Amino acid sequence: MKNRVLWSVVLTVLLAFLGFAMVACQESGTKEIKIADMDCLSGSNADAGIQDLNGAQLAVDDINAAGGIKALGGAKLKLVAVDMTSDPKNAASTAERVFSTEKVVAAKCPGISGIALPMLPIAEKAQVPVICNSINDQITGQGYKYTFQIAPHGSQFGNAQVQFLKWLNEKYKLGIKDVAVVYENSGYGVSTAGGVKDFVTKGGFNLVLYESYPHGFTDASSLVTKVKASKAQALFPVAYTTDAKLIISTMNQMNVHPVVVGGGAGFIWPAFFTELGPAANGFVSVASWNWDSKAMSSKPELAAITERYQKRFGAFMGEHAGPSYVAIRMFADAMEQTKSSDSKKIRDYLATYNNSGLIGGMMQPGTIKIDSTGFNGVVHPVMIQWQDNLPRTVYPEVDASRSYMPPKK
Amino acid sequence: MNPTIFLQTTLNGLMTGGVYALVAVGLTLIFGVMKIVNFAQGEFVMLAMYVSWMLATFAHIGPYPGLLIVGAVMFGLGYAAFKFLIVRVIGKPDEAFILLTLGLSIVLQNLVLVIFGAEYFSIDTPIKDEAFHMGGLSLSVPRLIAFLVALLMVAGLSILLNRTDLGRAMRATAESREVATLLGINPIRCFTIAFAVGIVLAGAAGVLLTPMFYVFPGVGTLFNLTAFVVVVLGGMGSVTGALLGGLIIGIVEALSSTYISLDLSQLFTFLIFLAVLFIRPSGLFGGAAK
Amino acid sequence: MNPKRAKLLPLALLAVVLAIPVFVHVPYYLHICFMIFLFATMGMGWNLIGGYGAQLSLGHSVFFAIGAYTSVLFVVYKSLTPLVGGLVGMALAVVASVIIGLPCFRLLGPYFALATIASGEITRTLLLHFKDFTAGANGVPIPFHGTNPLFLQFNSKAPYYYLALAMLVVVASIMRLMEKAKIGRYLAAIREDQQAAESLGVKSSQIKMIAFMLSAAIVAACGALYAFTVGYIDPDSVASVNLSIEIAVVVIVGGIGTLWGPVLGAAVVVLLTELTNMFLGGLRGGANLVLYGTLLIVVILLKPEGLISFFNKFRPKQGVDKTQIAHGTHA
């Protein structure tokens, strides 16, 4: 008797689950076009992921406020925020779920490469175009037709940093020869560090230290001791916010003061200033995007975007939020031009995307041009310096909106 | 080999070792008395850090003044954990407590994640960035304090265990429950106190760590593994062993970081761990070989 | 239920499961089933040493990682099909199991668990460190260039579903055969009382070693299949302590030391994870792990034989009840 009851309960639960799932599969509205924003909204990468979401949400709201997709009768966009977590296994399952059960026409893929990579084959099989603002070279290095990447490749970062250091040496006669590179042993760190190493040696500098440290380490004293021992005059650290802060405060504690040229990420997000306060001013870092690059700040409509962002989210538009905004804009543009919300047509339009107007103007140096691999081949990283509590673009000259301020000796 | 760098590295190692010892001491007490390895010890350290952070942020009580409050809170948590969960696995096969404390560590860590989010919090204390400088060497003040407190705790715990009736009762219970009962000692009461004190020690470690480390849900796991290694190295149940073990591991980590590679320093910790397990499982000061 | 019907039940279940992809085309549901089969298979493998062999291993991610990385790197460096690469991975995993098992088996309970955790972390550290060879934290993606069965590349989810199901059926059959064979009885004896078994002539370290080796091979094969289904691996996703714990939890929740326990456990854990992600996903994250940890605690305290014990009426009596042996509650 007891077992029959048990079996009936089990079967009912299973059927209920299936029934619910099938209902959940149904389409919601008719005049809404869904775009997925797939980002790390929880776990260790959440601080970056939330910036991505904010940028995408602002774009959707801006587009809808201006009348939606006019070519489709003013259809409104709906952003489906998806938490990809910070674990690649969960990211894969989540991507499967979203592409299977939500009728999205396009997706913005995570700004963290380790979470973006697992979802690309799933998007390819589901034939949904995705635009990535993560920097791993392999994103557009695998031949996927539905993957696009608008941020610079990690391998380009090193070049920017080295060129900047050379420029500093020439202009300010700093005489820096010995460079130390330390990087976090995570996807981001490894993607950029190799490139940095190459460019440092090719640029005529002495690489006196090239060291990775464990992601999420809690004690930087060994690292700083090694930097001190190497007698490096310049340090290129690649780190997220907490590591960046730990390294800097440990260097202060141990009286180790090389010229720091940050590797992006933790060195340029709003949290860097929240953690260090005005002591952040003067720090230099490479960035995949900055809010005040010349192309953006010279066009009033674009500058207004960053102001709206600041007002709404209480922080400046950071490195993740900007390209996220651009991605949504590109999808909308594709739909306007092809007069369709068909995923394949959107994909085909993006494959030859070439814009120097209001959309292209948002990515430095002012143009977006997608090449045959799906990568925005004309983009390059910029160098920022914290001035007046904000990161300002100072190099290369074509993108700079402020001059570099050398440290007071 | 540059002598300054070597000295600095050793100094770093000693200080870090003191921190490890702090976390390990509670673990070894619990094991010594109840033969239970608390896989959630690191999570209690983490909880104490959050309590400390909340005191600092909302009540403006700094970590050092707040030590007593946190200690009381941790005693309560330890007592509750014991009464509701741990007591049920005493006497059961090993898997029971391993999996119970493992489950507890997962629940605690993620409960904190759900409630507080994944953000890294930090406390501002005036001495946070302070350091003593002498002859090219630098010594971080919060670390020094943690080191000294670790020494004090080890001393205090030793006195408790060896010189007080309670301590003697706990040691008797550890040796043989049956005989202890015959002597009129209540073993469950001893276990409860041992566990609660072990958690209080974890709490103290947490408070002392807050000026140095970020407060985030995963901070406990960083210490869990190292604490186990320290306890095995020092000898399960030996309080002095935990201190010495901590210092040794701290120095080995620091030396391997500086002279070999930062990435691999954890590897050396584990290799030592495995070596101890095979060569001398009772550790440096372990009593009964297990 | 009479014994004849009890024997037909698994076959009926198999028929239903074989038919599912014919009717269900949503890739996500097939993906869930795939994960259930995968974890059930790994659980069965773990059970050999953790359940029957009574050595609680929290380091099985080592074998998963070896299987995944070997098969993937063979494709990357030698363009060799994972059907071969996977076999090599299984062989390497077996070697690893000997290296870990030989010294560690004489360690008791928590020490063994700690040692296996240490081996897991060592593996992860090594994978991260030798980045020139393994790509380290960057991970290795397996680009999808269209259907290629030799490299386990399929456009639809159904072939992966069947592969995982096939693996589960094969492993379950092996388990069934082992239970009845001498080695199964030896393991049961060791489980109940290792010293007594040894006094009767059972070479416990040899038997446990065989169980461990087989367990490693099974988990490695699963690692290889996982790598090609998901298309991306990195040290944190295949060599983490959490994965090791998850494999153990699947078995413990389902029923340690039983044949069907891992299957039930896998279904419960995977569905729980997916349901919580679906409903609470937008929330902070971690909610599914809270439930999962609580489930573990509840099972340990209230039902240590696992959830399968609710279905005990269906199992034909085989003399000694293994679940009771597993937990020392046997009279």
pLDDT digits (tens, 9 = 90+) for A347-375: 999 999 999 989 999 998 889 999 999 99
Q: Which pLDDT score, from 0 to 100, does residue C182 have?
A: 83
Residues of B in contact with A228 (CB under 8 A): 5, 8
Q: Which of C111, C297, C327 shows the shortest C-beta gap to B107? A: C297
Select the more confidently predicted residue: B93 or A299. Answer: A299
Q: Is the pLDDT of residue A285 over 50?
A: yes
3-state helix, strand, coil in chain A (%, to 5): 50, 20, 35
Predicted confidence band at C288 (pLDDT cuts at 50, 70, 90)? confident
Across the range B116-141, mean pLDDT stands at 81
3-state helix, strand, coil in chain C (%, to 5): 75, 0, 20
Predicted confidence band at A98 (pLDDT cuts at 50, 70, 90)? very high
- For residues B261 and B32, the answer to whether their CB atoms sit within 8 Å is no
Q: DSSP states of B211-261 as a string?
A: TTS-B-TTHHHHHHHHHHHHHHHH-TT-HHHHHHHHHHHHHHHHHHHHHT-
Predicted confidence band at C239 (pLDDT cuts at 50, 70, 90)? very high
Helix axes A88-101, C27-47, angle to 10 degrees: 150
Among C93, C81, C52, CA closest to C239:
C93
Across the range A48-68, mean pLDDT stands at 93
A&B contacts, CB < 8 Å:
81
> Which amino acid type is present at position C60?
H
Q: For A63-91, write each residue's pLDDT tens digit.
A: 999 999 999 999 999 999 988 887 888 88
Predicted confidence band at A18 (pLDDT cuts at 50, 70, 90)? low
The SS3 call for residue A235 is: strand
Q: Is it true that the peptide bond before A396 is cis, omega within 30 degrees of 0?
A: yes
CB contact under 8 A, C285 and A142: no
C81/C234 Cα distance (integer angstroms): 20
- For residues A29 and A99, the answer to whether their CB atoms sit within 8 Å is no
Q: Is the pLDDT of residue C331 over 50?
A: no
Statement: the pTM of the whole predicted model exceeds 0.80: yes
CB contact under 8 A, C285 and A83: yes
Q: Where are the alpha helices (DSSP H) in C24-60?
A: 27-47
Do A32-152+295-378 and A155-287+383-395 come out as alike in CATH topology?
yes
Residues of C in contact with B110 (CB under 8 A): 286-287, 289-290, 293
**Which range has highest mean pLDDT (B148-152, C14-18, C244-248)?**
C244-248
Token pair belonging to A62: 């801006």
| Residue partners of C19: CB distance under 8 A and separation at least 6 | none
Interface of B with C in 16-55 (CB under 8 A): 37
The SS3 call for residue A43 is: helix
Q: Is the pLDDT of residue A408 over 90?
A: no
CB contact under 8 A, B277 and C252: no
Q: For B133-150, write each residue's pLDDT tens digit.
A: 887 788 888 888 888 988
Across the range B147-170, mean pLDDT stands at 87
Token pair belonging to A385: 């310096």
Q: Which pLDDT score, from 0 to 100, does residue C285 have?
A: 63
Residues of A in contact with C155 (CB under 8 A): 125
Which of A39, A84, A184, A219 should be substituted to probe chain B, the one whose Cβ sees the most B Cβ atoms within 10 Å? A219
Across the range A258-264, mean pLDDT stands at 90
Residue B214 Rama label (left phi>0; alpha psi -120 to 50; beta): beta
Q: What is the CATH number of domain B20-279?
A: 1.10.3470
Residue B110: alpha-carbon gap to chain centroid:
20
Lowest mean pLDDT among B242-251, B261-270, C78-87, C213-222: B261-270
Among A111, A19, A35, A123, CA closest to A76:
A35
DSSP state of C9: H
The residue assigned the tokens 């860590």 is B109
Phi, psi of B138 (to 5 degrees): -130, 145
Q: For A305-319, write each residue's pLDDT tens digit.
A: 999 999 999 889 999
Q: Is the pLDDT of residue C286 over 90?
A: no
The residue assigned the tokens 């904000």 is A390
Residues of B in contact with C300 (CB under 8 A): 89, 96, 99-100, 103
Among A342, B6, A182, B265, CA closest to C129:
B265
Q: Is the pLDDT of residue A4 over 90?
A: no
Among A43, A380, A36, A402, CA closest to A240:
A43
B90/C261 Cα distance (integer angstroms): 25
Interface of A with C in 186-225 (CB under 8 A): 186-187, 189-191, 212, 214-215
Cβ neighbours, 10 Å, residue A259: 18
Q: For C201-215, write each residue's pLDDT tens digit.
A: 778 888 889 999 999
Q: DSSP states of C219-281 as a string?
A: HHHHHHHHHHHH-EE-HHHHS-HHHHHHHHHHHHHH-TT-SSHHHHHHHHHHHHHHHHHHHHT
CB contact under 8 A, B118 and A42: yes
Residues of C in contact with B114 (CB under 8 A): 283-287, 290
A125/C155 Cα distance (integer angstroms): 6
The neighbours of chain A, by the rule of 3 or more Cβ pairs under 8 Å, are: B, C
Q: Domain-by-domain residue ranges, chain A?
A: 32-152+295-378, 155-287+383-395
ipTM of the prediction greater than 0.90, yes or no: no
Q: Which pLDDT score, from 0 to 100, does residue A1 have?
A: 43
Q: For A328-343, write each residue's pLDDT tens digit.
A: 999 999 999 999 999 9
Q: Which pLDDT score, from 0 to 100, does residue C180 have?
A: 85
CB contact under 8 A, A46 and B258: no
Q: Which of B2, B118, B263 shows the shortest C-beta gap to A185? A: B263
A94 CB near a chain C CB, below 8 Å? yes
CB contact under 8 A, C141 and A117: yes
Q: Is the pLDDT of residue A33 over 60?
A: yes
Give me the half-sphere count of Cα atoms (radius 13 Å) on the Cβ side of residue B66: 29
Find the closest chain A residue to C156 by CA distance.
Answer: A125
Residue A194: alpha-carbon gap to chain centroid:
19
Identify the H or E element spanning A271: helix A270-276
Residues of B in contact with C59 (CB under 8 A): none
A9/A13 Cα distance (integer angstroms): 6
- State the sign of the Cα–Cα–Cα–Cα dihedral C198, C202, C205, C211: negative
Q: Which pLDDT score, from 0 to 100, does residue C330 have?
A: 44
Q: Which pLDDT score, from 0 to 100, does residue C265 have?
A: 94
Across the range A22-33, mean pLDDT stands at 57
B107 CB near a chain C CB, below 8 Å? yes
| Residue partners of B163: CB distance under 8 A and separation at least 6 | none
Residues of C with CB under 8 A from a CB of B: 56, 58, 103-104, 107-111, 113-115, 117-118, 121-122, 125-126, 128-129, 245, 248, 252, 256, 283-287, 289-290, 292-294, 296-297, 300-301, 304, 327-328
Rg (Cα) of chain B, in Å, rounded? Answer: 19
- For residues C321 and C330, the answer to whether their CB atoms sit within 8 Å is yes
Interface of B with C in 260-279 (CB under 8 A): 261, 263-264, 266-267, 270-271, 273-274, 277-278
Name the CATH code of domain A155-287+383-395 (choices 3.50.50.60, 3.30.67.10, 3.30.565.10, 3.40.50.2300). Answer: 3.40.50.2300
Across the range C141-164, mean pLDDT stands at 88
Q: Which pLDDT score, from 0 to 100, does residue C275 have?
A: 85
Q: b or e along C110-123 (b: 16 or more beta carbons within 10 Å of the residue's beta carbon)?
A: bbbbbbbbbbbbbb
A321/A326 Cα distance (integer angstroms): 9
Which of A112, A182, A218, A242 should be substituted to probe chain B, the one whose Cβ sees the most B Cβ atoms within 10 Å? A218
Q: Which pLDDT score, from 0 to 100, does residue C198 have?
A: 81
Across the range B66-77, mean pLDDT stands at 92
- For residues B41 and B231, the answer to whether their CB atoms sit within 8 Å is no
What are residue A395's DSSP bridge partners?
A383
> Which amino acid type is present at position C104?
C
Q: Which of B118, B212, B262 shows the shortest C-beta gap to A222? A: B262
The neighbours of chain B, by the rule of 3 or more Cβ pairs under 8 Å, are: A, C
A2/A6 Cα distance (integer angstroms): 6
Q: Is the pLDDT of residue C283 over 60?
A: no
Select the more confidently predicted residue: C271 or B122. Answer: C271
Which of A13, A14, A89 should be substituted to probe chain C, the one whose Cβ sees the most C Cβ atoms within 10 Å? A89
Q: Which pLDDT score, from 0 to 100, does residue A20 have?
A: 56
Cβ neighbours, 10 Å, residue C131: 18
A94/A223 Cα distance (integer angstroms): 37
Average pLDDT, chain A: 88
Q: Is the pLDDT of residue C93 over 90?
A: yes
Average pLDDT, chain B: 87
CB contact under 8 A, B103 and C297: yes
Token pair belonging to B239: 């309080």
The residue assigned the tokens 């801006």 is A62
CB contact under 8 A, C281 and A92: no
Which of A96, A153, A211 should be substituted to probe chain C, the one whose Cβ sees the most C Cβ atoms within 10 Å? A96
Predicted confidence band at B5 (pLDDT cuts at 50, 70, 90)? confident
Tell me the shortest Cα–Cα distance from B262 to chain C, in angstroms: 10
Predicted confidence band at C262 (pLDDT cuts at 50, 70, 90)? very high
Q: DSSP states of B57-116 as a string?
A: HHS---TTTTHHHHHHHHHHHHHHHHHHTGGGGTTS-HHHHHHHHHHHHHHHHHHHHHHH
The SS3 call for residue A41 is: coil
Q: Domain-by-domain residue ranges, chain B?
A: 20-279
Predicted confidence band at C326 (pLDDT cuts at 50, 70, 90)? low
CB contact under 8 A, B110 and C297: no
Q: Which pLDDT score, from 0 to 100, does residue C169 have?
A: 94
DSSP state of A291: T
CB contact under 8 A, A121 and C26: no
Lowest mean pLDDT among A91-100, B27-36, C56-65, C179-188: C179-188
Among C129, C159, C313, C147, CA closest to C235:
C129
Helix axes C61-78, C82-104, angle to 10 degrees: 150
Q: Which pLDDT score, from 0 to 100, does residue C3 have?
A: 67
Q: Which pLDDT score, from 0 to 100, does residue C131 have?
A: 87
Q: Which pLDDT score, from 0 to 100, does residue B289 have?
A: 32
Q: Which of C110, C122, C300 shows the shortest C-beta gap to B103? A: C300
What are residue A370's DSSP bridge partners?
A376
Q: What is the CATH number of domain A32-152+295-378?
A: 3.40.50.2300
Q: Which pLDDT score, from 0 to 100, does residue C23 have?
A: 87
B100/C91 Cα distance (integer angstroms): 34
- For residues A401 and A294, the answer to whether their CB atoms sit within 8 Å is yes
Q: Which pLDDT score, from 0 to 100, does residue B162 have?
A: 86
Q: Which of C145, C236, C275 shows the shortest C-beta gap to A143? A: C145
Predicted confidence band at A11 (pLDDT cuts at 50, 70, 90)? low
Residues of C with CB under 8 A from a CB of A: 1, 26-29, 31-32, 35, 128, 131, 135-139, 141-145, 155-156, 230-234, 236-237, 271, 273-275, 277-278, 281-286, 310-311, 313-314
A&C contacts, CB < 8 Å:
124
A212/A182 Cα distance (integer angstroms): 6
Pairing mode, strands A259-262 and A234-238: parallel
Q: Which pLDDT score, from 0 to 100, does residue C319 have?
A: 45
Which of C57, C107, C114, C242 should be substituted to probe chain B, the one whose Cβ sees the most B Cβ atoms within 10 Å? C114
| Residue partners of A138: CB distance under 8 A and separation at least 6 | A113, A117, C138, C141
Q: Which pLDDT score, from 0 to 100, does residue B183 have?
A: 83
Helix axes C287-302, C261-280, angle to 10 degrees: 150
CB contact under 8 A, C290 and B114: yes
Helix axes C287-302, C241-254, angle to 10 degrees: 40
B137 CB near a chain C CB, below 8 Å? no
Token pair belonging to C132: 């020139």
Predicted confidence band at A22 (pLDDT cuts at 50, 70, 90)? low
